[in-house]
Amino acid sequence: MEGRSRLSNLIVQARLNGRALAHLECWNLESLEAIIGASNRLGLPVITGPGLSFADPQWVADGGFAPLLAACRRAADRSATPVLVVLNEANRLEEVRLGLEGGADLVMMTTADLSLEENIERTREVVGLARDYGAAVEGELGGPETGAPERREKEAAPNFTDPEQARLFVSATGVNLLAVSVGNVHTHLGGRAAIKLGRAEQLAEAAQVPLVLHGGSGVPPETIPALIAAGIVKINVGAALRSRFWGAIRRTARQPGAHRSYIWLGRMSPPDPLAEARLALEQEAERWLKLIARNQIANRHEIHNQY
């Protein structure tokens, strides 16, 4: 089945059950194993794959993400639960092409810094590429600010997505999903993002495609059911997963005898430091899957007729 059809089927099931799809980003084999392990344990679908927005440009240009994407494809095909492979936040069309050749079901290109006209033109190119591979495309309109300290001062206030522009953008590009800015913040932890639920509802009505929320790590958990009801069908989480992974590595490094932990690398189970991090990340992935993909809203009839 083509990626576009797989995504459509998962969206239908999620919406009928008053849930959303969790996009849990991976960056190496340990994170990939943890995310798919959590999905299999809970029996819930997941979207995963590498994101390129913070990756080293030269590494990306050299195709460094291709082996990881291939591992994602292989793991997804063998998973007991539905797993969609995504190439997230590509910066160039060549990266999108490599992602599609590597088996991505869904591709997304960073276009928030472009004018509306440039964004439409670039996204049309992505849609054209993806069509040949049967893959789905996530467009982006409006730019969430970032919570990364080194970038926060360089970026302007959040560029909230305009409903009328969303209507025009979707009609002009034919994207399958639309990532929007409604107060969400990239790389932000702590669940304190000031989400504008009313704006999300307006965008869902105007765009008439499922909406995506980037920066899920900063979303207050108690707002997730309302976001789903408002039309958000995919929530992206990356920073919270990286934080948990890194925290486990740091804890391992502080243990007695940690200076010799290198001898356990490759054991693939504790006391291998990367295995410790993988297990911690699997717990975090389960937490987010429960919040997003199992968080059934009370009034499911509110969303049955959307899209």
pLDDT tens track for 78-87: 999 999 999 9
Question: Contact at 8 Å (CB) between 46 and 83?
Answer: yes
Question: Is residue 307 situated within a structural domain?
Answer: no
Q: Is 134 exposed, middle or buried (0-12, 13-18, 19+ CB in 10 A)?
A: middle
Q: Is 137 exposed, middle or buried (0-12, 13-18, 19+ CB in 10 A)?
A: buried
| Domain limits for position 192 | 3-302
Question: Is residue 202 situated within a structural domain?
Answer: yes
CATH number at residue 41: 3.20.20.70
Residues in the chain: 307
State the average pLDDT over residues 139-162.
Answer: 64
Question: Contact at 8 Å (CB) between 237 and 24?
Answer: yes
Cα distance between residue 168 and residue 150, in whole Å? 34
Q: Count of domains in the chain? A: 1
Query: Could you check whether the bond before residue 271 is cis, i.e. omega within 30 degrees of 0?
Result: yes
Question: Contact at 8 Å (CB) between 227 and 195?
Answer: yes
State the average pLDDT over residues 165-193.
Answer: 87
In this structure, what DSSP letter does residue 254 have?
A: T
Q: What is the pLDDT of residues 25-65, one digit of tens each?
A: 999 999 999 999 999 999 999 999 999 988 999 999 888 99
Regarding predicted confidence, which is higher, 260 or 138? 138
Whether this model's pTM surpasses 0.85: yes
Question: Is residue 292 situated within a structural domain?
Answer: yes
Vertex 189 angle, CA 175 and 115, to 5°:
35
Closest CA to 228 of 3, 11, 83: 11
Give the H/E segment covering residue 200: helix 197-207
Question: Is residue 98 situated within a structural domain?
Answer: yes
Mean pLDDT of the chain: 88
Question: Is residue 55 situated within a structural domain?
Answer: yes
Q: What are phi and psi of 226, to 5 degrees?
A: -70, -35
Q: What is the pLDDT of residues 251-302, one digit of tens each?
A: 887 777 666 677 767 777 787 888 999 999 999 999 999 999 875 544 444 4
Cα distance between residue 174 and residue 138, in whole Å? 10
In DSSP notation, 56-104 reads: -HHHHHTTTTHHHHHHHHHHHHH-SS-EEEEEEEESSHHHHHHHHHTT-
State the average pLDDT over residues 180-185.
Answer: 88
Question: Contact at 8 Å (CB) between 77 and 70?
Answer: no
With pLDDT > 90 as the criterion, what percentage of the chain qualifies?
A: 68
Question: Is residue 143 situated within a structural domain?
Answer: yes
Cα distance between residue 228 and residue 300, in whole Å? 10
Question: Is residue 40 situated within a structural domain?
Answer: yes
Between the alpha carbon of residue 110 and those of residues 113, 256, 267, the distances in Å are: 8, 44, 38
